[in-house]
Amino acid sequence: MVALLAQQAIASDPQTIGELHPPVIASLGDQKITVFFLKNNLKGQVKEGHVPYAEIFYTSMNAVKPSLNYVWKVEGEQIASVFFFERKFPEQAGKSMFVLTKQKVSHSQFEGDSYSVLELPLVKDGDQLALRFFSGDPPDPELQNCLDGLNLEDDVAVECAYKDAASIKKRLAELDAKMIANSKRDQGNRQQPIKTDDDTANATCPSTDFSEFLTAFSERADVQKTFVQQPLKMVTTVAGDPEPEMEKRSLSGDQLKFPIIPDQAKREAQGLTLTVQEQRGDKAIAILQKPDTDYVFEYRFVRGQCWQLEEVMDYSL
């Protein structure tokens, strides 16, 4: 792969793949991978369908038979920074690679740049290291579409607080520390057995009442792991031409990252609200959103012997 990237282009043979950012070495223990950020030079030339600015791939540095593995797409026209952060909060503990993208924004109301952060967890895949993207894991809304420039309506400068690796890592560390503190504070309550309507402990199902079930489901990762159907249907909104499109996938096993719904401490830290939108018979829908933004996740549940999450709809762009 490196040889292909280094090969000189012939003037009469234009390259369709370039390099948006230099390769990065990612490691976990003694295992290492090389991550490539391959630019789509066809961007702007394809009239039908959506073409991302770039795509991310990796190859193992330890494998006997190396292979190029697809991870996810890059929607920003520029990669401003690539860095790593390791969370300590038990239910989210692990090391991830973060990609900070930058894109020009110019319209009647704003002129400047937009910054967004893409998180790619490093996970063990058998005896190899892998880089993954979990579309079911809600991103921090503060780190998405962060504007930096001039508000043209009132001629006021707007500054993005998260446009470099240092400020983003500081924010991630603050959130991690807050969740650890809240977890310790509420540990006693979370360790108490969840009661059903007749006030008897039920180790199998938190409650047949959906509101009570949703409270337990959102607060405890072990409850989520038990009551998520596999494969879980995941529908994600992606940029399209001329309209956004819905991309459907099925996730199971290591593709699922818990918690799927953030607990109350994290929701409060990020300004998110979780509400029951609808319940009819054996079907129910919960909505996770950040008011006055396009950040909206819809969780669809079905009830058998207990409620189970069967589908996640990500309407955020």
The pLDDT assigned to 78 comes to 95
Predicted confidence band at 181 (pLDDT cuts at 50, 70, 90)? confident
The pLDDT confidence band at residue 317, using thresholds 50, 70 and 90, is: low
Average pLDDT score, the chain: 84
pLDDT at 287: 95
Q: What tokens does 211 get?
A: 């509101």
Q: Which residue segments constitute the domains of the chain, with CATH numbers given?
A: 2-102+119-131 (no CATH), 203-314 (3.10.450.410)
Torsional class of 94: left (φ above 0), alpha (ψ -120 to 50), beta (otherwise): left
User: Is the model's pLDDT at 245 over the cut of 90?
Assistant: no
DSSP annotation of 255:
G
Q: Does position 2 have pLDDT exceeding 80, yes or no? A: no
**Helix, strand, coil abundance in the chain, percent, nearest 5:** 20, 45, 35
Residue 234 CB coordination number (10 Å): 20
Most confidently modeled range among 11-15, 46-50, 234-238, 297-301: 297-301
Of the spans 45-59, 90-104, 176-190, which averages the highest pLDDT? 90-104
